[in-house]
Amino acid sequence: MLTDMYRSRNSSQPSIIDRVDPVIWSKHGHCPMISVEDETFYEENGFLFLKNVFSDAEVAQLRREANHMQNSSPTDDEVISEPGSDEIRSVFRVHDKSDVFSRLISDERLVAIAEHFLDDDVYIHQSRVNFKPAFKGKEFFWHSDFETWHTEDGMPRMRALSMSITLTDNSAYNGPLMLIPGSHQKFISCVGETPDQNYKNSLKAQQIGTPDQGNLTEMVEEFGITAPVGPDGSVLIFECNTLHGSSNNITPFPRSNLFFVYNAVSNKLVAPFSGKNPRPNFLATRKDAVPVRTGHYKIQAAE
């Protein structure tokens, strides 16, 4: 059994521990897709916002694919509706539901950066569209994705990242993703045991695994809050442990984003550190965790 380097949900008191993993796992300055300044920004802040990565025509195609999924049946386990309404909040495993998305996961503009930051071949740990529909899109409370992916999915180390492709404009008004810059360097150990099948509730409104208000306040006082805004076709790259959240959308403008989560193949999931049963494959890839670039991958001993 791997040592649990980031213990959470097993104490009656919250605590903060320092990150023990690198943020950028490979040699700096060797990624042709981004500048050294951007690379340094990502390392220091735990996120990087790249505007206008995809053309209008490409974004229109992505939006068509996503809108088609928005008509999915809410009874499908992989389709999550908003709390208190039938509006679709999220659809998961979208890279397996669209040829366009299944090609996009290996687009050089995305995968080359993920491979560089994670210094390994990468596979999709999770993909989803969060629709945050007009007027009805509800909040995602503050959280670290890694806290969930480690505790409930058995992701050993902080060697994963999310790429959020904006399918609609993300403005200051329609519930943009907010981040606490620099928070990726700290791991907040949360209080509260993981309920069985927690995902049936947490994907609608996460309670367990969210940081306590005391530590959140401390982190915001130290690092502040930032909400990158920009046009559709932009890409927000954020590290698996960067604290983030978003507010309700009370505007007529949807804030729909397509998320691909890249995990290093040497960081494949083990037994959940919560001791509970693993979550379903649509949330956390266990079967066919193959590199997005099909074929070979570097075999690396776990650190």
Cβ proximity to ligand 6CS: between 202 and 241 the closer is 202
Q: Quick check: 148 binds ligand 6CS (CB under 6 A)?
A: yes
Q: Print the binding letters for residues 276-295 with ligand 6CS: x by CB under 6 A, - otherwise.
A: -------x------------
Residue carrying structure tokens 């915001």: 220
Q: Which amino acid is at 46?
A: G
Q: Which does 283 bind (CB under 5 to 8 A by kind): ligand 6CS, Fe ion, none?
A: ligand 6CS
Stretch that binds ligand 6CS, among 24-32, 63-71, 114-122, 142-150 (CB under 6 A): 142-150
Q: Which does 148 bind (CB under 5 to 8 A by kind): ligand 6CS, Fe ion, none?
A: ligand 6CS
What tokens were used for 104? 């996009």
Q: Quick check: 47 binds ligand 6CS (CB under 6 A)?
A: no
Q: Which of 121, 145, 152, 169 binds Fe ion (CB under 5 A)?
A: 145
Cβ proximity to ligand 6CS: between 34 and 156 the closer is 156
Q: Which of 42, 131, 140, 187 binds ligand 6CS (CB under 6 A)?
A: 140
Q: Quick check: 115 binds Fe ion (CB under 5 A)?
A: no
Cβ proximity to ligand 6CS: between 45 and 127 the closer is 127
Output the smallest distance, CB 31 to ligand 6CS, in A.
Answer: 25
The residues that touch ligand 6CS, with contacts defined as CB under 6 A, are 126, 128, 140, 143, 145, 148, 202, 206, 283
The residues that touch Fe ion, with contacts defined as CB under 5 A, are 145
